[in-house]
Chains A and B, each alone.
Chain A
């Protein structure tokens, strides 16, 4: 997948990622008799033929490259000369590189601040829209639209304009808060927030998922709570949140993984030039630095090592989230 932010990835199933469906009985249950065996063989053949594009793609474009990447990570490779084995040097160089540490900081800040804000916005608006009122469908569609265009170069260009000196955000900040930072785009401390704002603007994709989750919460639960005298806040805390926790879990997981991989918006918004991203590298997110090292400085080995660190980080975050799931995600049999 490209790093383009689309809502597509946000539509994973809630609950367990179940194995393949019932299918056609499977070969196992008809294992007796020569006719059955022939049929099993035919099923295998048909299965692998149908699967052949996927298998070729997996071998050629996923598994093979991953093995190659792991090898490159331990080499000095500039595309001109053959890769030269240098052991762990890429990794020690990486940890000693202040720019690498800086790009990690930028990325973590972006993920840690941006993802919760985006999800909070998505949930808040979903709660608002989860009422039977006229225009609901219209609002839902309109709020969703930014998720489709948010990752485009066009919107990054627009964002640069809206957040620059004397444009709307700068003026609002000056007149409402009395703060003059002279536009977020030029300020190394502020530009990352314009990137976060761009992420938040695309709250529509998780919102749609939240809405679908909210629709499945049984009305009777609220009615019973109301009879018990629970206020809106307690109803939200005791009923809504637990009931939609599976949806929340998947939104958190996917948005977090997605955020780690942001590229295009940061690249254009920061006005990528001369191997920098933003003023004083302020939007040098991890993938931008990977791109700079790999494609501008021709350090393919170093960039591969960086990619594996990203994979480890994302893997770790995923594992922690799955582990924490037990504590706060409630799978109600009825909800499915």
Chain B
């Protein structure tokens, strides 16, 4: 086989490969492109038209958003979501890394049992806890506050993140903390000055996922929040769907896109961390 033929064959393979990948890409991107295009169309052209982007784009839908929903500016919903998302990130990072440190670096009695319990909660359907947790927070008069949505994050109930960090810390060389111990470092110092900085990749991955989870969360806010002023972006959008989705369909579509933006931005900024972090930690058994 001549070199030229090989190159030609490779070229053909490459074209086929890219064609396949582009076909998948089209399916994946269509809804996102659709929502961008639709948000620039007038109300009655949104559903029926096959044209992805309007020839005559309008910005009315976005200008409508500036009025907010029912006297509540959109910035309120974004502020609330941001508060919850950032609050969740802080809680998850602090509580999960403490637990993971204990699991990997401290030889305390009962460690195995607790670890098994923690793994058990990983597979537990959330819905079993939904009603009793609600009853608990209702009795404590904490419904319609952010506490029910945040408390679990500060108490490391997202077992997945504990597990992720355990996986990571387990692979840090043992010699490091032995050296630290010889230098007279206690556990807190070792945790704070040695282990945590080395765990940066795991911490970043956890932070991003926690943020996105909290941002997208729908059921928690739906159940616990009562006052529209405390609503998150998800609930604000749902309110839009219920209230104005008919008369102002375009506004609803524009709001859908705006609600997605933070997640998309996060994704574009951190996609390396997300994908590599998940893929590699997923394979270290």
Minimum C-beta distance from A274 to chain B (A)? 12
What residues on A are CB-neighbors of B121 within 8 Å? 58, 62
Residues of chain A in range 282-324 having any CB-CB distance to chain B below 8 Å:
287, 290-291, 294-295, 300, 303-304, 307-308, 310-311, 314, 318
Please tell me which one of the listed residues B20, B103, B135, B157 contacts residue A61 in the complex, with CB atoms under 8 A apart: B157
Alpha-carbon gap, A247 to B191, bound state (A)? 32
Contact B157 A141 (CB under 8 A): no
Minimum C-beta distance from B119 to chain A (A)? 6
Contact B21 A129 (CB under 8 A): yes
What residues on A are CB-neighbors of B105 within 8 Å? 23-24
Stretch of B1-9, B59-67, B277-285 lying at the A interface: B277-285
Stretch of A89-97, A147-155, A220-228 lying at the B interface: A147-155
Contact B275 A208 (CB under 8 A): yes
What residues on A are CB-neighbors of B17 within 8 Å? 128, 131, 133
Contact A157 B241 (CB under 8 A): yes
Assuming the contacts A18-B285, A307-B131, asked whether A155 and B31 have C-beta atoms less than 8 A apart, the reply is: yes
Alpha-carbon gap, A6 to B164, bound state (A)? 14
> Nearest CB to that of A63 among chain B residues?
B117
B35 within 8 A of A: yes
The proximity string for B residues 265-278 relative to A, scoring 1 for CB distances below 8 Å and 0 otherwise, is 00100010011001
Minimum C-beta distance from A309 to chain B (A)? 10
What residues on B are CB-neighbors of A314 within 8 Å? 123, 125
What residues on B are CB-neighbors of A47 within 8 Å? 102, 106-109, 111
Alpha-carbon gap, A28 to B109, bound state (A)? 9
Please tell me which one of the listed residues A267, A304, A336 contacts residue B285 in the complex, with CB atoms under 8 A apart: A336
> Nearest CB to that of B117 among chain A residues?
A58
Chain A interface residue count, Cβ-Cβ cutoff 8 angstroms = 115
Please tell me which one of the listed residues A9, A61, A66, A303 contacts residue B151 in the complex, with CB atoms under 8 A apart: A61
Q: Which of B35, B107, B134 has the most CB of A within 10 A?
A: B107
A68 within 8 A of B: yes
Residues of chain B in range 190-238 having any CB-CB distance to chain A below 8 Å:
191, 209, 212-213, 216-220, 223, 234, 237-238
Contact B136 A153 (CB under 8 A): no
Alpha-carbon gap, A78 to B232, bound state (A)? 28
Contact A14 B282 (CB under 8 A): yes
B179 within 8 A of A: no
Alpha-carbon gap, A22 to B126, bound state (A)? 31
Assuming the contacts A58-B121, A148-B267, A155-B31, asked whether A4 and B187 have C-beta atoms less than 8 A apart, the reply is: no
Q: Which of A20, A208, A247, A318 has the most CB of B within 10 A?
A: A20
What residues on A are CB-neighbors of B170 within 8 Å? 20-22
Contact A135 B21 (CB under 8 A): yes
Minimum C-beta distance from B168 to chain A (A)? 10
> Nearest CB to that of B120 among chain A residues?
A62
A177 within 8 A of B: no
The proximity string for A residues 126-139 relative to B, scoring 1 for CB distances below 8 Å and 0 otherwise, is 00110101010001
Contact B156 A57 (CB under 8 A): yes
A25 within 8 A of B: yes
Assuming the contacts A8-B160, A54-B95, A307-B131, asked whether A23 and B104 have C-beta atoms less than 8 A apart, the reply is: yes
Residues of chain A in range 68-93 having any CB-CB distance to chain B below 8 Å:
68-69, 72, 79
What residues on A are CB-neighbors of B252 within 8 Å? 157
> Nearest CB to that of A308 among chain B residues?
B128
Assuming the contacts A1-B158, A157-B256, asked whether A20 and B95 have C-beta atoms less than 8 A apart, the reply is: no
Minimum C-beta distance from A114 to chain B (A)? 16
Stretch of A98-106, A211-219, A232-240 lying at the B interface: A211-219
B152 within 8 A of A: yes
Alpha-carbon gap, A22 to B281, bound state (A)? 18
Alpha-carbon gap, A135 to B14, bound state (A)? 11
B46 within 8 A of A: yes
B29 within 8 A of A: yes
Please tell me which one of the listed residues A46, A68, A336 contacts residue B132 in the complex, with CB atoms under 8 A apart: A68
Please tell me which one of the listed residues B115, B124, B164 contacts residue A20 in the complex, with CB atoms under 8 A apart: B115
Please tell me which one of the listed residues B48, B117, B138 contacts residue A166 in the complex, with CB atoms under 8 A apart: B48
Assuming the contacts A53-B156, A161-B38, A162-B34, asked whether A264 and B24 have C-beta atoms less than 8 A apart, the reply is: no
Contact B263 A149 (CB under 8 A): yes
Please tell me which one of the listed residues B34, B152, B260 contacts residue A149 in the complex, with CB atoms under 8 A apart: B260
What residues on B are CB-neighbors of A20 within 8 Å? 103-104, 111-112, 115, 166, 170
Alpha-carbon gap, A201 to B130, bound state (A)? 28
Please tell me which one of the listed residues A28, A149, A212 contacts residue B280 in the complex, with CB atoms under 8 A apart: A212
Please tell me which one of the listed residues B125, B132, B264, B281 contacts residue A72 in the complex, with CB atoms under 8 A apart: B132
B99 within 8 A of A: yes
> Nearest CB to that of B10 among chain A residues?
A133
Contact B155 A2 (CB under 8 A): no
* Interface residues in chain A, defined as those with a beta carbon under 8 Å from any beta carbon in chain B: 1-4, 6-28, 40, 43-44, 46-48, 50-51, 53-58, 60-62, 64-66, 68-69, 72, 79, 125, 128-129, 131, 133, 135, 139-146, 148-149, 151-155, 157-159, 161-162, 164-168, 171, 201, 204-205, 208-209, 211-213, 216, 247, 257, 260-261, 263-264, 267-268, 287, 290-291, 294-295, 300, 303-304, 307-308, 310-311, 314, 318, 336
Sample of 25 A–B contacts (CB below 8 Å): A2-B213, A6-B213, A8-B209, A17-B119, A19-B116, A20-B115, A21-B103, A21-B170, A24-B105, A27-B107, A28-B107, A43-B107, A50-B99, A66-B128, A66-B129, A152-B216, A154-B260, A158-B31, A167-B47, A208-B278, A212-B279, A261-B127, A264-B218, A264-B219, A291-B219
List the 7 closest pairs (A to B, CB-CB), nearest first: A47-B108, A57-B155, A21-B170, A65-B132, A26-B107, A15-B285, A11-B282
